[in-house]
Chains A and B, each alone.
Chain A
């Protein structure tokens, strides 16, 4: 590890701290005040969009209506993207004349982008037309991110609205939250940052690939396309789906260490800002900052381990006359080096982004363990846009419950009692995740359909399987990419994991919101456990770590941990 490497980390983190409040305040204005925060012109566009939708923005929905709207919109999204992929051969913006995408892959990809996962079983540059990239995929980068924000808002309103049993049981209007997050947050920032990225070398055009003759006289085909517009929203919406197979390691997606910093900033900006928005909704900004603090602790803990492991070099080269002062450079780009690569790997898996600027499969065993653990902690470390906040709030409910058990009182949060039904829903939310991951991973590990896709032998092969299902169920989308996931078994199994990992978790989260919103508000008493102090942050972090460790430690010990000890002995398979 180097000093300059840590300066890079700290500058990045300082930018996130700096943006949290202003962006949080802005999003509070967007979602909770009904104002037109970016001037009357956009306000007029907003209203015409409601007319086109055919909705009355004044009418609020209860949790079931809200949930139905979200599910219906997502289901249509799967169908439309599936259709565009299958038909791309007959549609415009296809200068490379790519044929329609095969069925299983089209299903996997549609599910992947609707769920904000952006797992990619395909190579963009040899599979997807520009139309599919723009209208089939980047479209979902907006809508799935907006849906995540909507769910987080819904849950936050459930906790923070103070109507009591006599008040309304509604939680907002899905179509309003969707429209406003796209129009006021995602679109303007994406447009702005897309142009910043282009100025640094990210490409943006609709031209066919270009054949050139290299200096040594060989032929090279340069791939082109509308990359920057997708890159900006892919980071901002924590989607992570690359235009190209190599994702943000590709020089046309992420040409310089400066664009790398911008990408990292975009990934964490909204999730960090939402913690402040939440504090403002709770009328106690400390409630938000305490979540921010817990997240920051877990962020740095993961980063230190990952950076330290990668800086130590690659054991596969032990004994060779190599100077490994740069650290483990297999699967990393020269311009980023170990510091910027491990920072990216930590950020992209803390948030459920899944973009990569280095190949996690080639990380050292412990370096690769960190991204995997980050995902398996349910991506609550800032997390996906919206998804991070609502995931964290579920853990808050659980922590409050455990604290209540310890002192023998009915737990309460923000003045609302947490009761049996809420805990059942929270437990369901927590359990869905390991059931998908461990269930499918076990199946894949013992079936020929599963193991025939592996790129690495030995314990590292199990890590590839575990990572794939964790990434899919966690809606992350990064990969130990040696695994050949473009087979019917993997496409279907991962497709199901992604859909289950998104919607089977959103429904209980919205259920909790519905149960919470109309609860009686009790004044804090001496026996109330304060949820805005360091003690609570400590408890919250402990609960996250304990739940994660109890669930996944046995599996991890057979994968990355065995891999680590074998690599220490210099074993290769």
Chain B
């Protein structure tokens, strides 16, 4: 029995070194070599090359000129250090009240948008960091963005349609629009909106 325990101890050390250190470190090395940009977070850059976030991680957009993402339950909204869904079930009063408030806010902020509202705009994603929207939910916001930027709605719609990704391989998942990519393109084509600053972004949702 003591012999078996000794074997167990040695096996613990060997497997830990092999699968707990060697494997992840070798993977890190190979990933850095082959796909460095992906391995380090697919960072998105603004017009001057500064990092403005990650293509894959949603961020708070609360001002009218920007395409806005879904409600987020991650911290105070899109906080990557606290990824989470709302975990509210179908008989939750909190969920219903939140949706009622979001509908009221969306109608107020989007007086020209058609009814009904696409439901991904009032439902919190699973991660709280969802970087994307359904194409319907993105196009729904076009009138507001167009008015805030003072450009024709068609041009906003064109940007969104251009940025719409089809299902992977034609049948996997859902068609979608990356919110940050659309906003970077909007800024590039129509200039940065004014005023933009921390005060405008303070809204937490």
B91, A194: Cβ atoms under 8 Å?
A: no
Given contacts A182-B19, A212-B52, A213-B52, contact A322 B117 (CB under 8 A): yes
Segment with Cβ contacts to A, from B36-44, B145-153, B155-163: B36-44
Q: Is the C-beta of A405 less than 8 angstroms from some C-beta in chain B?
A: no
Q: Which residues of A contact B60 (CB under 8 A)?
A: 214, 216, 218
Within 8 A of B (CB), among A335-386: 335-337, 339-341, 356-359, 361-365, 368
Is A407 close to B, CB under 8 A?
no
In the complex, whether A7 has a CB less than 8 A from a CB of chain B is yes
Cα separation A143 to B4 with both chains bound (whole Å): 17
Residue numbers in B under 8 Å from A443 (CB-CB) = none
Which A residue sits closest to B59, measured CB to CB? A214
A330-B123, A331-B85 as given contacts; A138 in contact with B24, CB under 8 Å: yes
Q: In the complex, A317 Cα to B128 Cα: how many Å?
A: 20
B28 touching A8, Cβ below 8 Å: no
The interface bits of chain A over 164-179 (1 if a CB of B lies within 8 angstroms of the residue's CB, else 0) are 0000000000010010
- Residue among A245, A460, A571 with the highest chain B CB neighbour number at 10 A: A245
Taking CB atoms, residues of chain A closer than 8 Å to B21 are: 134-135
Instruction: Give per-residue flags for A4-20: 1 if the beta carbon is below 8 A from chain B beta carbons, else 0.
Output: 10011001000000000
B199 to A, closest residue via Cβ: A217
Residue among A65, A76, A182 making CB contact with B12, cutoff 8 Å: A76
Bound Cα distance from A458 to B131, whole angstroms:
33
B10 CB → nearest A CB, Å = 5
Contact between A337 and B85 (Cβ–Cβ < 8 Å)?
Answer: no
Please tell me if the beta carbons of A52 and B10 are within 8 angstroms of each other in the complex. yes
* Residue contact B27 to A195, C-beta cutoff 8 Å: yes
Task: Tell which of A26-34, A246-254, A444-452 binds the partner.
Answer: A246-254
Looking across the interface, which residue of chain B has its beta carbon closest to that of A564? B90
Q: Select which of B24, B38, B176, B200 is within 8 A of A230 by beta carbon.
A: B24
Write out the residue numbers on chain A whose beta carbons fall within 8 Å of the beta carbon of B167. Answer: 4, 257
Contact of A191 among B20, B23, B62, B91 (CB under 8 A): B23
Is A244 an interface residue when CB atoms closer than 8 A count as contact? yes
Q: Determine whether the beta carbon of A317 is less than 8 Å from that of B96.
A: yes
A195 B31 Cβ-Cβ under 8 A: yes
Interface 1/0 per residue, A129-155 and B, CB below 8 Å: 000001110110111000000000000
Complex alpha-carbon distance, A245 and B83, angstroms: 6
Query: Is the beta-carbon distance between B99 and A53 smaller than 8 angstroms?
Result: no
B30-75 at interface with A (beta carbon < 8 Å): 30-32, 34-35, 38-43, 46, 50-63, 66, 70, 74
- B126 partner residues in chain A, CB cutoff 8 A: 246, 249, 331-333, 341, 356-359
Instruction: Please measure, in the bound complex, the distance between the C-alpha atom of A457 and the C-alpha atom of B133, giving whole angstroms.
Output: 30
Contact of B90 with A364 in the complex, beta carbons under 8 Å = yes
A246 x B85 contact (CB < 8 A): yes
For A261, what are the chain B residues with a Cβ–Cβ distance below 8 Å?
168, 172
A257 to B166 Cα, complex, angstroms: 11
Residues of B within 8 A of A314 (CB): 90, 95, 119, 123
Which of A207, A320, A357 sits near B100, CB closer than 8 Å? A320
**Pairwise interchain contact A249-B125, C-beta atoms closer than 8 A:** yes
CB-CB under 8 A from B172, the residues of chain A are: 8, 257-258, 260-261, 340
A202 to B24 Cα, complex, angstroms: 14
Select B99's contact among A135, A201, A244, A320, beta carbons within 8 Å: A320
Q: Which B residues are CB-close (under 8 A) to A302?
A: none
Interface residue? A80 (CB, 8 A):
yes
Query: Which A residues are CB-close (under 8 A) to B122?
Result: 317, 320, 322
Decide if B90 touches A563 in the complex (CB within 8 Å): yes
A435 is an interface residue with CB less than 8 A from chain B = no
Q: A218-B59, A222-B80 are in contact. Are A323 and B201 (CB under 8 A)?
A: no
From residue 67 to 112 of chain B, which have CB atoms closer than 8 A to chain A? 70, 74, 78-93, 95-96, 99-100, 103, 107
How far, in Å, is B161 (CB) from chain A's closest CB? 16
What's the minimum C-beta distance from B65 to chain A, rounded to whole angstroms?
10
Given the complex of chains A and B, what is the CA–CA distance between A134 and B124 in angstroms? 30
Q: Please pick, from A4, A229, A334, the residue contacting B134 in the complex, using a CB distance under 8 A.
A: A334
Residues of A within 8 A of B50 (CB): 213
Q: With the chains together, A215 CA to B96 CA distance in Å?
A: 31
Q: Once bound together, how far apart are the Cα atoms of A314 and B96, in whole Å? A: 10
Inside 8 A of B133's CB, which chain A residues have their CB?
334
A256 interfacial contact with B, CB 8 Å? yes
> When the two chains form their complex, are residues B8 and A210 in contact, meaning their CB atoms are under 8 A apart?
no
User: 1/0 per position for A254-270, CB-CB distance to B under 8 A?
Assistant: 01111011000000000
Nearest chain B CB to A353 CB, angstrom units: 16
A441 within 8 A of B: no
Q: State the CA gap A179–B115 with chains docked (Å).
A: 61
> B25 to chain A: closest CB distance in Å?
8
Contact across chains for B129 and A191 when beta carbons are under 8 A apart = no
The answer to whether B20 and A138 touch across the interface, beta carbons within 8 angstroms, is yes
Which residues of chain B are near A458, meaning CB under 8 Å? Answer: 91
Q: Which of B41, B116, B122: most chain A CB closer than 10 A?
A: B41
Known interface pairs A218-B60, A316-B96, A323-B136; A362-B89 also in contact (CB < 8 Å): yes
Given known contacts A256-B168, A361-B87, A362-B89, A323 and B39 CB-to-CB distance under 8 angstroms: no
| Chain B residues with CB under 8 A of A482 | 86-89
**Nearest chain B CB to A177 CB, angstrom units:** 12
The 3 A-B residue pairs whose C-beta atoms are closest, nearest first, are A257-B173, A482-B87, A139-B20
A-B contact pairs, 20 of them (CB 8 A): A68-B4, A73-B8, A135-B16, A200-B38, A204-B27, A204-B32, A215-B183, A215-B187, A320-B99, A321-B115, A321-B116, A323-B136, A334-B132, A358-B85, A362-B95, A363-B90, A456-B92, A482-B86, A482-B87, A571-B91
Contacts A4-B171, A215-B53, A324-B119 supplied; 16 other A-B pairs, CB < 8 Å = A68-B1, A142-B15, A195-B31, A221-B81, A228-B27, A246-B83, A249-B83, A249-B85, A314-B123, A316-B92, A316-B99, A325-B119, A326-B120, A329-B123, A329-B125, A340-B173
B interface, CB within 8 angstroms of A: 1, 4-12, 14-16, 18-21, 23-24, 26-28, 30-32, 34-35, 38-43, 46, 50-63, 66, 70, 74, 78-93, 95-96, 99-100, 103, 107, 115-120, 122-134, 136, 167-169, 171-174, 176, 180, 183-184, 187, 196-198, 200-202
Mark A residues whose CB is within 8 Å of B.
Answer: 4, 7-8, 11, 49, 52-55, 65, 68-69, 72-73, 76-77, 80, 123, 125-126, 134-136, 138-139, 141-143, 175, 178, 182, 186-187, 190-191, 194-195, 198-207, 209-210, 212-218, 220-224, 226, 228-230, 233, 244-246, 249-252, 255-258, 260-261, 313-317, 320-326, 328-337, 339-341, 356-359, 361-365, 368, 455-460, 463, 480-482, 563, 566-567, 571-573
